[in-house]
Amino acid sequence: MTTYTVAYGGERLDRIAAKTLQTEQLGAVEALLDANRELGDFAAGIIPAGTVIVIPESFSGKAGVKRVLAWE
């Protein structure tokens, strides 16, 4: 089990996802929230210093939705 301890007060969850999962897209933030239900209690995704976050090992990133333009 891999964990990440927030070192600085006020670190945003999307920045943590970028550091630990190498992206804040493709469902990375949602994967962190699924693995750490208590993170949803923090306002605006700001995680306080000292919080230990479990990093999901099975994250592979969901494929994005293909966009179809109106003129296609």
CATH annotation of 2-55: 3.10.350
pTM, entire model: 0.76
Q: Domain boundaries in the chain?
A: 2-55
Express each pLDDT in 23-72 by its tens digit: 888 888 889 999 999 988 887 778 999 999 999 988 877 655 556 666 75
Q: Which helix (H) or strand (E) holds 53?
A: strand 52-55
